[in-house]
């Protein structure tokens, strides 16, 4: 089946990102809907709490994802996340009191914590080396598409004569990707690396053959199987001899986890997540009406999605490092201009400065999409060895989203108290991460997940080029593929 089947699996698993992307973005439009504001009458502190409790739930989900992904597999864990996400969407849609809406946001956050980790791991583990970045980037493009869709649905619903419908319908639409994800997971395979870790070698070979049998090297999937099996055998032995806190006590693993944490933290600290959630507050501060703010939220989503599509093209051509470093520089410049325009508008109330500020927010999010939309997610999943990939990604996302939670809770207060100066915090974060990425992030473009060991000065048990066709053929396990598909 090869590449087409690989992309189908990536698309179905990417439904998890659609659910996360929609859920994370829909709240920005909700905060602009007069029906929502009239119904719950939230203060700026309550708005901050609604924005941040989602990320609190996401952090809770991260505590369970490693156990679920290693015990039940990546595929079943994504499915579990879909079920939890569906429950969260129903709670938010049906909320008559702000308490149930809070609960729905927390439950939805738990689902996102489970899926955001596991979808990245799954995509990285099924993709061929030359397309791995692109396939993970595709997941982020679907996430951005979902966010854009949420923005435009919110804008359209603002014209409704029903105040309740104007905010409940966009929230209810979260149910659609959740249901599609739950059903779609029945049609994708388990991760071959997870199958091998569970000694289900025949199934793993069948899955690798279906995923990669159209490679230019006809024996590639057999060689890949040998490399994965040899590397996992060593990793499993190391894991068996280690204590539960080996991720933090083993210097090699700690370096890999620290790299993943820095990768995921950098994307949260550039400011895009905070701006996305509270962009309606930014627009109002620049003199925009509610409806025009909702319109700008839709334009923001289009710019983000367009940039993400560019990232899809660039990530396996330029590599991860170049995108990281150029992104930090460009985003800092855009934030500086936005801060200056906002400051001038506050002083003069001149609409020219307001339009300038909005223009550079759109330029900012486009270049964020080009450079940071997928790169940190792909990189964090890649640099972690299979034995700790799920747990390591959970740690990285825990730290990153703890920071996002802090920004989300404090952003409305900061914008109210210090206004444009809040943007300088994100510029400082970009300056902080630039030397870390420059000196400590090795390039991973084009390497298999096992060969990334070389980039960290570690041993690769089997090099693909050293495996002969005879060795690859001898390793085949003859299996009924149809039987595996039914498993």
Residue 43 burial by CB count (10 A; 0-12/13-18/19+): exposed, middle or buried? exposed
| Distance of alpha carbon 319 from alpha carbon 115, whole angstroms | 25
pLDDT, residue 486, reads: 43
Residue 14 is classified by DSSP as T
Per-residue pLDDT of the chain (487 residues; tens, 9 = 90+): 678 888 899 888 877 778 877 887 788 778 878 888 888 888 877 887 887 788 888 888 988 888 898 899 999 999 999 999 999 999 999 999 888 999 999 999 999 888 878 888 898 889 888 888 888 778 778 887 888 888 888 888 888 889 889 999 999 998 998 999 999 999 999 999 999 989 999 999 999 989 887 777 778 888 888 888 888 888 777 776 655 566 777 888 899 999 999 999 998 889 887 787 777 777 777 777 778 887 888 888 889 889 988 998 899 899 999 999 999 999 999 999 988 988 888 888 888 888 888 899 899 999 999 998 888 988 998 999 888 888 888 889 889 878 887 887 787 778 778 777 888 999 999 999 999 999 999 999 888 888 898 888 888 877 777 677 667 666 665 444 444 444 4
Closest CA to 386 of 138, 192, 206: 192
| Residue-wise DSSP of 240-277 | HTS-TTHHHHSHHHHHHHHHHHHHHHHHHHTSHHHHHH
- Do residues 280 and 293 make contact, with C-beta atoms less than 8 angstroms apart? yes
Is residue 133 within 8 A of residue 320, CB to CB? The reply is yes
> 3-188+242-444 has which fold?
Growth Hormone; Chain: A; (1.20.1250)
What gap in Å lies between CA 110 and CA 120, rounded to an integer?
Answer: 16
Distance CA 31, CA 37 (A): 7
**How far is it, in rounded angstroms, from Cα 448 to Cα 445?**
9
Strand, helix or coil for residue 184: helix
């Amino acid at each position: 089946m090869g590449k087409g089947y690989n992309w189908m699996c990536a698309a179905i698993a990417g439904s998890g990102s659609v659910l996360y992307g929609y859920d994370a973005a829909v709240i920005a439009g909700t905060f602009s809907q007069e029906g929502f504001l009239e119904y719950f009458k939230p203060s700026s502190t309550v708005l901050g709490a609604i924005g941040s409790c989602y990320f609190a739930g996401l952090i809770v989900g991260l505590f369970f994802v490693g156990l679920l992904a290693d015990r039940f597999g990546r595929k079943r864990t994504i499915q579990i996340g879909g079920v939890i996400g569906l429950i969260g969407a129903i709670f938010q849609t049906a909320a008559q009191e702000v308490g149930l809406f809070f609960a729905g946001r927390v439950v939805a956050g738990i689902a996102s914590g489970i899926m955001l980790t596991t979808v990245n791991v799954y995509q990285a583990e099924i993709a061929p080396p030359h397309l791995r970045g692109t396939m993970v980037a595709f997941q982020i493009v679907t996430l951005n598409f979902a966010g854009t869709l949420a923005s435009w649905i919110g804008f359209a619903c603002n014209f409704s004569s029903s105040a309740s419908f104007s905010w409940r319908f966009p929230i209810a639409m979260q149910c659609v990707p959740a249901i599609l994800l739950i059903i779609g997971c029945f049609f994708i395979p388990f991760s071959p690396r997870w199958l091998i870790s569970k000694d289900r070698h025949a199934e793993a070979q069948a899955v690798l053959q279906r995923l990669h049998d159209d490679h230019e090297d006809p024996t590639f999937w057999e060689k890949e199987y040998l490399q994965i099996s040899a590397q996992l055998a060593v990793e499993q032995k190391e894991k068996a001899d280690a204590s539960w806190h080996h991720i933090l006590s083993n210097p090699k693993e700690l370096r890999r986890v620290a790299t993943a944490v820095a990768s995921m933290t950098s994307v949260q600290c550039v400011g895009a997540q905070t701006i996305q959630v509270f962009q309606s507050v930014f627009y109002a501060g620049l003199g925009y009406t509610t409806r025009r703010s909702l319109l700008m939220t839709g334009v923001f989503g289009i710019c983000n999605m367009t940039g993400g599509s560019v990232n899809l093209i660039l990530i396996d051509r330029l590599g991860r490092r170049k995108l990281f470093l150029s992104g930090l520089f460009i985003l800092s410049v855009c934030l500086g201009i936005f801060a200056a325009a906002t400051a001038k508008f506050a002083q003069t109330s001149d609409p020219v400065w307001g339009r300038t500020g909005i223009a550079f927010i759109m330029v900012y999010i486009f270049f964020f999409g080009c450079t940071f939309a997928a790169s940190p997610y792909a990189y964090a999943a890649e640099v972690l060895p299979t034995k700790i990939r799920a747990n390591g990604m959970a740690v990285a996302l825990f730290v990153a989203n703890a920071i996002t939670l802090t920004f989300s809770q404090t952003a409305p207060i900061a914008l109210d108290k210090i206004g444009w100066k809040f943007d300088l915090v994100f510029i400082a974060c970009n300056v902080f991460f630039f030397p870390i990425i420059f000196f400590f992030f090795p390039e991973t473009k084009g390497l298999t997940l096992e060969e990334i060991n070389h980039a960290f000065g570690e041993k690769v048990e089997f090099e693909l080029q050293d495996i002969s066709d005879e060795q690859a053929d001898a390793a085949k396990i003859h299996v009924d593929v149809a039987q595996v598909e039914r498993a």
